[in-house]
Structures are given as C-alpha cells and as structure tokens.
Amino acid sequence: MEMPCKLDSGICRIAIAVVLLLSFVGMSFASSQTAPMPGSYIKAASAGYRHTCYLLSNGNSQCYGWNESGQSTPYLGGNAVALAAGYFDTCYVLSNGNSVCYGQNKYGEANNYNGGDAVAVSAGEKHTCYLLKNGNSFCNGNNKYGETSSYTGGNAIAVSAGYSHTCYLLKNGNSTCFGPNMFGEDKPYAGGDAIAVAAGDYATCYLLKTGNGVCLGRKDDDQAHAYYGGDATAFSMGGFHICYLLRNGSSICYGRNEYFQSTPYTGANAVSVAAGDLHTCYILKSGNSTCYGSDMLNQSTNYTLAAGFAQQAKPKPNITVPGNASTAVHTNASGNGTTKEANKEATLFGTSIMTVALAAVVALIILAVAAILLVMRKKGGKEAPKGQPEAGKTDEEPGQNP
C-alpha cells in the first residue's frame, strides 16, 4: 500500500506537527471546560450593615459590598475559623485564638484581640465581643449602655451583639444580656431550652430545642416574630427582619420587606442564613450562596464556587423599592471571602483564559490550512500537467519554432 506522503517530505512534516499541536491545544481547552480550577466552598457567612463576608474552606474570606472603611477587606492568612460583620467593621477569629479586624475603629470596635483563647466573635453597631474558651467574654468598643460588659460566669456557649446590646447563651439553655433594655431586648431568657441566640435592633430572639423561636424586644416592624412551626434549625436577625432556616432547607422570614430582604428561600438546599440590615444571604449545600434584598453596594452578590471565582449571579427579583434605611446590623453569624475588586478581576481573568484558548485554536487551524495550501501550491508548481512531457525532456531545442 502506497503511503499518501513520505515522512521525509515537507508537507507530511507540517501536517503531522499541526495535527499534534491542535490535538494538544484542543485537549487542554476541553479539560479547562470540564475541570475548572478548584474553588473554596463557604463554611459560614456574616451580613453587616451594607456588606457581606464569607468564611471559606481555605481559611480565607470573600467579602462584597461597602468598603469605605475597609470593612470588606479580605482576610488572606489562611487560618480564620469564625467571622462577624458589624456596622463598618469585620473581625475574624483565627485558629490561634486571636483576632484580626478591618474597618472603622472610632470606638475601638475593630481592635484586635490577642488573648489567644477566643473561639467566636459577634459585632454590633459600635462594639465587638469575643466568646472565650473558658466560657467568659471579652468586648471592645462603645459601652454607653453597658453593651461591652464582660461576661464572667464561665458558662457561655454563644454570643450575639445587637445594635447596642449583647446577649450570651448559657450552657443551661438560658441567657444573660447587657445593654439599654429600651424595649425589653435585654430581658434574660429563662426557659432552659434555648440552643441559639440572635440580637438585632433592640430585639433578641432565641431558637429552642423544639424547633420553635421566641423573641423579646422591639416588634413594631414584626422583626421580633416568634416561630412555632417546630422545624427551625437556625435563624438570623437583620435590621428590621428575621429569617428562620427550616429543616427542609427552605426558610421563612418576617419583618420589613421593602427590598425583598424577607423573601423566603424555597430551594430546599440551604444550610445556613445570615441577615444584614437590608439583605439576607443563604449558604447552600453546594458551598455557594444566594442572596435577597438591597444590592445598592453589591452586598447581595452571590458567591459561586465554579472555577474558584465569585461571580455576580443573583436569582432574585431585579426590583429596587425605596425604603428607610435602618441603623441596625446583623451580628450573630460567622462568615468568610476576597474583595469585590479582586473578584471582578478574577472573573474577567477567568473569562479571558477561555476566550484566548478558543481564539488560539481557531488561529492555529487557519494557519495550518494556509501552510498546507502553500506547500501544495509550491509542489504543484513544480509538477508538469498530466499528458505533457516533463521540463527538460522535449524534442524541441530551446529557441526553435515548431
């Protein structure tokens, strides 16, 4: 069987090289589509006044929203274990029991804690409190109403800082609070069956072993709404709204809804919830997030695990309704992330890789075809047409007429 071309010929060498090169580029491009860069999933979330931060599985953080005071600065040390987003600040508890804070520090609320024994953190409007290993607490910031009073009972298992008060959940299922108690928000819970606490804007709610929720304090916007469905597994208080995460992975919310911050999540795959001032975010089983509410400063940007980049994908009503901005903050969730600017750069960079790869494949194909045609043309020009004698073998002498 005759070979279509000889291996030592120029056209065969070019053709083989082109095929191998295109195969390599094609496989590389295909693998980039089916096996994206591994990302870090969300471990916890915390929503503040106008920003949201996510604690990631790699010990870093990803934040979105207002960064006027540096509150959305990402933590990149790789050893964060908890986070709390406050009004204009964000604090991280590290694996060594210390903390790192970013943002406004007018009242000392963003002072780092260096005691080496912090296990949790919660941030209010102008204060931040740490839960310590020994069951006590340490607080920084404004103490106008006694909100930064340290708890020394040695049996606290959770802490939540509200607008101007702080509550501690105790081992016996009760609570103790410090603050102004203007609406009864600091009244201690004595039912003995509380498993979680959330402090908001002059209101405090407790999640009970029964899967219900009870609330104390300000209720003019229905933000301190009790829940009696018996299937709540977590909850979070925002400025003037509260959301309960249900056993089926969905949620139910009460309170203000002018920005759709109280829109219930019905995806049945949520594992955690974080309510901010005018927005609410859910961590999903996939390690991603979905948010509802005001997005005027990108605080409701969803975190997407795909390719390790955070993308702005918001499956929620694209409607903005004017409303009164409250001064309360969410303070009872921990969270994680990188800055919005970094995310945009990463997303653009990720897109450019795919675009360049595709363009490279097309360009190589065009060059390959052009090279083959050029070689064939040159070879064809050296060959005599069929049925005619080859050059140099005519019977005619040069210069003679027939």
pLDDT at 353: 39
Instruction: Check whether residue 18 and residue 123 sit in a common domain.
Output: no
pLDDT at 323: 28
Instruction: Check whether residue 364 and residue 272 sit in a common domain.
Output: no
pLDDT at 367: 75
Strand pairing class (166-170; 89-94): unpaired
Q: How far apart are CA 363 and CA 357, in angstroms?
A: 10
Instruction: Check whether residue 55 and residue 18 sit in a common domain.
Output: no
Instruction: Check whether residue 272 and residue 329 sit in a common domain.
Output: yes
Measure CA 214 to chain center: 30
Instruction: Check whether residue 65 and residue 181 sit in a common domain.
Output: yes
Residue 389 inside a domain? The answer is no
pLDDT at 305: 83
Q: DSSP string spanning 222-287?
A: STT--B-SS-EEEEEE-SSEEEEEETTS-EEEEE--TTSTTPPP-SS-EEEEEE-SSEEEEEETTS
Residue 56 inside a domain? The answer is yes
Residue-wise pLDDT for 240-277, tens only, equals 999 999 999 999 999 999 999 999 999 999 999 999 99
Measure CA 402 to chain center: 88
Q: What is the value of pTM for the model shown? A: 0.70
Percentage of the chain surpassing pLDDT 90? 66
Q: How far apart are CA 244 and CA 210, in angstroms?
A: 13
Q: With b meaning 16 or more CB within 10 Å and e meaning fewer, what string describes 164-186?
A: bbbbbbbeebbbbbbbebebebb
- For residues 52-75, give the mean pLDDT: 97
Residue 188 inside a domain? The answer is yes
Residue 229 inside a domain? The answer is yes
Instruction: Check whether residue 15 and residue 67 sit in a common domain.
Output: no
Residue 286 inside a domain? The answer is yes
Look at residues 279, 305, 338 and tell me which one is the last residue of a structural domain. Answer: 338
Is the torsion defined by CA of 161, 162, 168, 172 positive or negative? Answer: negative
Residue 391 inside a domain? The answer is no
Instruction: Check whether residue 276 and residue 358 sit in a common domain.
Output: no
Of 16-30, 93-107, 278-292, the poorest mean pLDDT is in: 16-30
Residue 183 inside a domain? The answer is yes
Instruction: Check whether residue 31 and residue 109 sit in a common domain.
Output: no
| N residues, the chain | 402
pLDDT at 8: 52
- CATH number, domain with residue 215: 2.130.10.30
Binned at pLDDT 50, 70 and 90, residue 84 comes out as: very high
Instruction: Check whether residue 272 and residue 130 sit in a common domain.
Output: yes
Q: How far apart are CA 54 and CA 281, in angstroms?
A: 10
Is the torsion defined by CA of 100, 104, 107, 109 positive or negative? Answer: negative
pLDDT at 39: 72
- How many domains is the chain built from? 2
Boundaries of domain holding 131: 42-338
Residue 4 inside a domain? The answer is no
Which positions ≥6 away from 264 have C-beta within 8 Å?
243, 250, 251, 252, 253
- For residues 361-387, give the mean pLDDT: 61
Beginning with the edge strand found earlier in the chain, give each strand of the sheet holding 166-170 in spatial order. Answer: 156-161, 166-170, 175-178
Q: Which two tokens stand for residue 11?
A: 């056209």
Report which of residues 362 and 206 the model is more confident about: 206
Is the torsion defined by CA of 133, 134, 140, 143 positive or negative? Answer: positive
Of 93-102, 121-130, 383-392, the poorest mean pLDDT is in: 383-392
Report which of residues 39 and 36 the model is more confident about: 39
- For residues 162-185, give the mean pLDDT: 98
Look at residues 279, 304, 338 and tell me which one is the last residue of a structural domain. Answer: 338
Q: Is the pLDDT of residue 3 over 50?
A: no
Instruction: Check whether residue 29 and residue 128 sit in a common domain.
Output: no
Which positions ≥6 away from 168 have C-beta within 8 Å?
131, 137, 151, 153, 156, 158, 159, 175, 176, 177, 197
Report which of residues 311 and 67 the model is more confident about: 67
Q: Which two tokens stand for residue 102?
A: 């970013």
Instruction: Check whether residue 234 and residue 218 sit in a common domain.
Output: yes
Instruction: Check whether residue 219 and residue 364 sit in a common domain.
Output: no
CB 218 within 8 A of CB 203: yes
Identify residue 218 by its one-letter amino acid code.
R
Share of the chain residues as helix, strand and coil, in percent rounded to the nearest 5? 20, 30, 55
Look at residues 283, 305, 338 and tell me which one is the last residue of a structural domain. Answer: 338
